[in-house]
Amino acid sequence: MIFSISTLFFVIIIALLIIFACSIVPQNYEGLVETLGKYSKTEKAGLIFIIPLIQRVRKVSLALQPLEISKYSIITKDNAEVSTSLTLNYQVTDSFKYFYNNTDSVESMVQLVRGHLRDIIGRMDLNDALGSTSQINAQLADAIGDLTNVYGIRVIRVNVDELLPSKEIQRAMDKQLTADREKTATIAKAEGEARNIELTTKAKNDALVATAKAKAEAIKTQADAEKYRIEQLKAALADAPDDYFKNQSIAAFKDLAKGENNLIVMDKDNLTQLGNIPAVREIWEKQDQD
């Protein structure tokens, strides 16, 4: 009975030693083996054996990890305060340096990223910074570079998610934007009115020109008609006999004599016709009575 208990106890001890001597390093991890608190070797993923109570394994993930850096303030070149937040993806490339060279490699990397971002934005005006996030991302990625030699980390991607001016600056920008919009609207309205006046004036001028052209055409047509009438009259008169003109002159004298004028100037050839004029006839008749 005593042998059986001792054997069982021994077996349990052996089993516990085997269990504690076995360690599993997961996929995409590395195991840092420490012997009496001192680094001794690096193990890849899989089953490894260590000396219980003397050695232990620190497991470091090599997978790509996201990190969000919360908002913090930065002063631009023109002394404007902006708040920014960014995200990045990093990967452990040297587990030894990552774990042993820094008490917190991730926090050290974050401080380095913040410092570079402050330097980049601090050399830009507010308007340039707000409109150049892609340029800032590229400059920040170049500034960070490969951090393997310092922190055992490589930054795969970095992106500025948000870049906002302070509330006071936002209010001022909103007022400026509103003023610019009102100015643009006023200019557009004035240009529209000026264009309308221009078109209206042009339409009136075109109408006046068209009216003047129509009147000129009408006068020309009337003048041409009158010219034609005169030419036809001249042609007809050219073929008329002399008696026609004499008869026309006598008829004209008769009409003139019927008027209120008493002075008549006549050709000597037509004096024989004076008897047809009432005033002359009356004088002659008076002379005959005397």
Rounded Cα distance, 156 and 66, in Å: 10
Final residue in a domain of this structure, among 126, 141, 165: 165
Same domain, 48 and 120: no
Indicate whether 287 pLDDT > 60: no
In a domain? residue 246: no
In a domain? residue 89: yes
Indicate whether 264 pLDDT > 80: no
pLDDT digits (tens, 9 = 90+) for 81-127: 888 888 999 999 999 999 998 889 899 889 888 988 999 988 888 88
Burial class (CB in 10 A: 0-12, 13-18, 19+), 54: exposed
Same domain, 132 and 153: yes
In a domain? residue 55: yes
pLDDT digits (tens, 9 = 90+) for 153-183: 988 888 888 888 877 777 766 666 666 666 7
| Domain membership of residue 260 as a residue range | 252-289
Which CATH number covers residue 142? 3.30.479.30
Same domain, 269 and 235: no
Final residue in a domain of this structure, among 115, 135, 165: 165
Same domain, 51 and 72: no
Final residue in a domain of this structure, among 61, 87, 105: 61
Of the pLDDT bands very low, low, confident and very high (cuts 50, 70, 90), residue 31 is very high
**pTM of the entire predicted model:** 0.55
The number of domains in the chain is 4
Same domain, 97 and 132: yes
